[in-house]
Amino acid sequence: MADLQMKLLRKKIQKRSEKNKERKLRQQQQQQEEEDTGKGSKDGNDESEEEEDDGPALPSGLTGAFEDQSFASLAELVSENTLKGIKEMGFENMTEIQHKSIRPLLEGRDVLAAAKTGSGKTLAFLIPAIELIYKLRFMPRNGTGVIILSPTRELAMQTYGVLKDLMLHHVHTYGLIMGGSNRSAEAQKLGNGVNILVATPGRLLDHLQNTAGFMYKNLQCLIIDEADRILEVGFEEELKQIIKLLPKKRQTMLFSATQTRKVEDLARISLKKEPLYVGVDDNKETATVEGLEQGYVVCPSEKRFLLLFTFLKKNRKKKLMVFFSSCMSVKFHYELLNYIDLPVMAIHGKQKQTKRTTTFFQFCNADSGILLCTDVAARGLDIPEVDWIVQYDPPDDPKEYIHRVGRTARGINGIGHALLILRPEELGFLRFLKQAKVPLKPLVSRTGINLS
């Protein structure tokens, strides 16, 4: 049923797009006929001027291939304070997901957006959220106007960091609540009034149910980021309870790297009847970004560590992330590699939050380094300039592979490399990757090791 609804929704959007194209074509033909009618009364000079004409402008509201995709083009829709923040962050042009979703979101539409990891979706939802609060002139006494839900503490902190940069020239209040932080300090902040709130689902539900001073009845917008990941890590029940507690009259933005049945079910209960579906990757031949060069090596079990050690040593001046299947495996390899004088960092789910946070930002700020991690670090996090993603253990699912390699080759012109290490008995995984539109080739020569 959910699949049928999504198909009908996409067809409706396609029909609307086709109607826009037909209207544009009729306008062009009409303008051409008017120009042809006037040609007889013009001399040669006028004809040469006509040839220099750029042609008819795109109809208002139609996003065509030649439309200006710079952030400056939003000047009439976005406040000067926000544009100043965007410029100071170093962004000039919108990515595809930003170009397709920011305008409809500014108009108040509910949006279900599907985009690859690294596509720039954080700005795509933060800019409209900030503008909503700005235009409504929210004050601390009005309470919380926007809630942004993130699946993990690390992603919540990162989203909060981007929000902080964008809010530099605004006076509205913003805050972060998440598991592992001081709950009473959070409750006091919420009581004082937090206009834009970034939260993890469990801690948000806790405050909704138990913090008397939390003013959320004026909520204007709910943003669910990495919706598929939130559902995967077991927050489905919490999400349903959160949606029940929040005001029904609100705008909802639902962003997801992959479209699953559970995401479609969530969209049905959280979005209005006719949401806008924005899919930037629907017609792409590959499920990973274009600037990513990726491949695999086949290595017997007894030589895997030798391969990893040699590869890391050879590339130690670069920035690498190495994925393992368990916390114990990360811990073991972290201690072993450091013991044999190859400095590495580690992040996994069994660490205390303060340790994870410190390591995460240490790696983010480093020009080079090696981070060993589990999938806790694989989703949504924007770690600058990662050169290599190494998967020492293959993931359980091709979707997880896509999210792991999404840590590199991020942004408009991002480039990066990914290496998947497989045992001979794991070669069948390549078939599933091929079905998921992941292009892989053998990279034996790139490892610098003779495996024969």
The pLDDT value recorded for residue 205 is 97
Per 3-state DSSP, the chain is made up of helix, strand and coil in percentages (nearest 5) of 50, 15, 40
Domain 292-447 homologous superfamily, CATH: P-loop containing nucleotide triphosphate hydrolases (3.40.50.300)
Q: What is the mean pLDDT of residues 297-326?
A: 93
Residues above pLDDT 70, as percent of the chain: 75
Q: What is the mean pLDDT of the chain?
A: 81
Q: Domain coordinates of the chain in residue numbers?
A: 72-279, 292-447
Can you give the length of the chain in residues? 452
Q: Is the CATH number 3.40.50.300 carried by domain 72-279? A: yes
Question: 29-70 pLDDT, tens per residue?
Answer: 666 655 555 544 444 444 333 333 443 343 333 344 346 789
pTM: 0.65
* 197: three-class secondary structure by DSSP: strand
Which tokens hold the place of 21?
Answer: 């194209």
DSSP string, 74-93: GTTTS-HHHHHHHHHTT--B
272 pLDDT band (50/70/90 cuts)? confident
The pLDDT value recorded for residue 409 is 52
* 259: three-class secondary structure by DSSP: coil
Which tokens hold the place of 309?
Answer: 């050690």
- Do residues 448 and 424 make contact, with C-beta atoms less than 8 angstroms apart? no
For tokens 């993603």, what's the residue? 389
Tell whether the torsion through CA atoms of 59, 57, 86 and 226 is positive or negative. positive
Question: 394-443 pLDDT, tens per residue?
Answer: 888 777 777 777 766 555 456 788 898 999 998 888 887 777 677 667 66
The pLDDT value recorded for residue 444 is 55
- Do residues 97 and 277 make contact, with C-beta atoms less than 8 angstroms apart? no
- Do residues 271 and 251 make contact, with C-beta atoms less than 8 angstroms apart? no
Question: 210-254 pLDDT, tens per residue?
Answer: 999 999 999 999 999 988 888 877 888 899 999 999 999 999 999
- Is residue 414 classed exposed, middle or buried when 0-12, 13-18 and 19+ CB atoms within 10 A define those classes? middle
Beta bridge partners of 451: none
Phi and psi of 347, rounded to 5°?
A: -145, 125
Please tell me if the domain spanning 72-279 has the same topology as the one spanning 292-447. yes
User: What are the angstrom distances between the C-alpha of 54 and each of 50, 51, 61, 70?
Assistant: 9, 8, 19, 20
- Do residues 71 and 83 make contact, with C-beta atoms less than 8 angstroms apart? yes
- Do residues 144 and 194 make contact, with C-beta atoms less than 8 angstroms apart? yes
> How far is the C-alpha of 375 from the C-alpha of 152, rounded, in Å?
11
Question: 128-185 pLDDT, tens per residue?
Answer: 999 999 999 999 999 999 999 998 888 899 999 999 999 999 999 999 999 889 999 9
Count Cβ neighbours within 10 Å for each residue of 314-350 and write b for 16 or more, e otherwise: ebeebbbbbbbeebebbbebbeebeeeeeebbbbbee
Map 89-142 to HEC letters.
Answer: CCCCECCHHHHHHHHHHHCCCCEEEECCCCCCHHHHHHHHHHHHHHHCCCCHHH
> How far is the C-alpha of 253 from the C-alpha of 432, rounded, in Å?
31
Phi and psi of 22, rounded to 5°?
A: -65, -40
Is the pLDDT assigned to residue 449 strictly greater than 60? Answer: no
